[in-house]
Amino acid sequence: MSTDVAAGVSPALQHEIEQFLYAEAELLDDRRYAEWVDLFDDDAAYWSPVRRSVATADIALEFTEPGQTAFFDDDKSSLQWRVRRLATNAAWAEDPPSRTRRLIGNVRVRPEGPEYGGSQLRVRSNFAVYRSRLADVVSVYTGERTDLLRARPAGGWGIASRTIVFDHAVAQGNNLAIFF
């Protein structure tokens, strides 16, 4: 293992961040959305670019850029709005609600800039989300998330930003009404 892969992250911090991500997945799978959205900082960004199937020569164009088409382009306020909407009869795409199971793995933790003294971390993790809805609607989503986590003054971590990159180029399932 190269020294830059494991640099600056103690086993205790690695474990702490993994447990944070597992607890977050549990909140979502248990449909505890109000608690989940509280994990995000007030200035948080939640974004998922669209992936394109491109030739090797055009690989730099594989993903849309900020400001272009995206699966998600939310801030904390719009995430809160989406969470509140799930509790109404207006969220037809999630009524009845989906049943989900999230698997989080390959968690890589890096300090984000020495100037922050360990108060910010860049965390990359892989995910698989199994979603079933109604009697026979099943979707499986896989991909990678890149999170910027900030230490909170009262302890614990907050999500300052999340970028979700799906492995697929075409959205799976009949809607993307769940969180990743």
User: For residue 59, is it within any domain?
Assistant: yes
User: For residue 76, is it within any domain?
Assistant: yes
* pLDDT for the residue 114: 63
| 8 A C-beta contact, residue 161 and residue 145 | no
User: For residue 175, is it within any domain?
Assistant: no
CA–CA gap between residue 101 and residue 104 (Å, rounded): 10
User: For residue 179, is it within any domain?
Assistant: no
CA–CA gap between residue 33 and residue 80 (Å, rounded): 9
User: For residue 174, is it within any domain?
Assistant: no
Q: What is the pLDDT along the chain (180 residues), one digit of tens a residue?
A: 444 555 678 999 999 999 999 999 999 999 999 999 999 999 999 999 999 999 999 999 999 999 999 999 999 999 999 999 998 878 888 989 999 999 999 999 999 876 656 689 999 999 999 999 888 889 999 999 999 999 999 999 999 999 999 999 887 778 889 999
User: For residue 117, is it within any domain?
Assistant: yes
User: For residue 93, is it within any domain?
Assistant: yes
User: For residue 109, is it within any domain?
Assistant: yes
Sheet arrangement for strand 157-166: 70-75, 40-49, 157-166, 137-151, 120-133, 99-111
* pLDDT for the residue 117: 64
Structural domain containing residue 97: 3-166
Distance in angstroms between the alpha carbons of the first and the last residue of the chain: 30
- 11-14: list long-range contacts, CB under 8 Å, 24+ apart: 13/109, 13/121, 14/107, 14/109
Q: What is the CATH number of the domain that holds 112?
A: 3.10.450.50
* Count of CB atoms situated within 10 Å of the CB of 16: 14
> Scanning the structure block, which residue is given the tokens 């969180």?
179
Query: Do you find a cis peptide bond into 96, omega within 30 degrees of 0?
Result: yes
When divided into structural domains, the chain yields a total of 1
